[in-house]
Amino acid sequence: MSYKVNFKQVELTGFEGSPFAEGLAGIRAHEARYFRNNYQTEFVTMAVDENPEIFNRIKAILLGQGLDLPYKALEVSDFVVNNMRWSYIFYDNGLVISIEYSINPAGKREIGVKLVEGAETPVEFVDRCSFVRQRSSLAGIIRESYFPLKGNF
């Protein structure tokens, strides 16, 4: 069932089984606030098994970047706003992947990697990413990095 994310407070809905439930829910609320404030858009997620097409598309994009992530995916999101396609996947190990893909062929394309505080850096990103820390009132400390998305999808 789709979940319209509350951007004012952290709700654990959908992440109850993860050891990083609070941090994942905080990042999800943080992202919801970002889209609400910048685009007046609601951030909606769903369980992976509810919409496997989104999961498979994100997985194919990541495989095209040489990233085969063996972690358990909990939720996904996919939407278009301001000529940008945004796709998210939330993993039980505290990892959140976002793919930003401009509809305009000359536009911005990147992969965002976010980690909840306390989560181990996945081996796939140790040499690929340099993480910075960001403080969020909803998520606490978020470790994040971005790198270019290569190819067309």
On whether residue 108 sits in a domain, the answer given is yes
Q: How many domains does the chain have?
A: 1
Cα distance between residue 49 and residue 129, in whole Å: 29
On whether residue 153 sits in a domain, the answer given is no
On whether residue 130 sits in a domain, the answer given is yes
Q: How confident is the model over 58-66, as a mean pLDDT?
A: 94
pTM score of the predicted model:
0.94
Q: Are 84 and 100 in contact (CB under 8 A)?
A: yes
pLDDT computed for residue 151 by the predictor: 76
Domain residue limits at 128: 3-148
Among candidates 73, 99, 97, which has minimal Cα distance to 14?
Answer: 73
* Dihedral class, residue 66 (left if φ above 0, else alpha if ψ from -120 to 50, else beta): left
On whether residue 66 sits in a domain, the answer given is yes
On whether residue 104 sits in a domain, the answer given is yes
Q: How confident is the model over 2-14, as a mean pLDDT?
A: 93
On whether residue 102 sits in a domain, the answer given is yes
On whether residue 12 sits in a domain, the answer given is yes
* Cα three-residue angle 18-20-22, rounded to 5 degrees: 105
DSSP H or E segment with residue 55: helix 52-64
Percent over 90 (pLDDT), the chain: 86
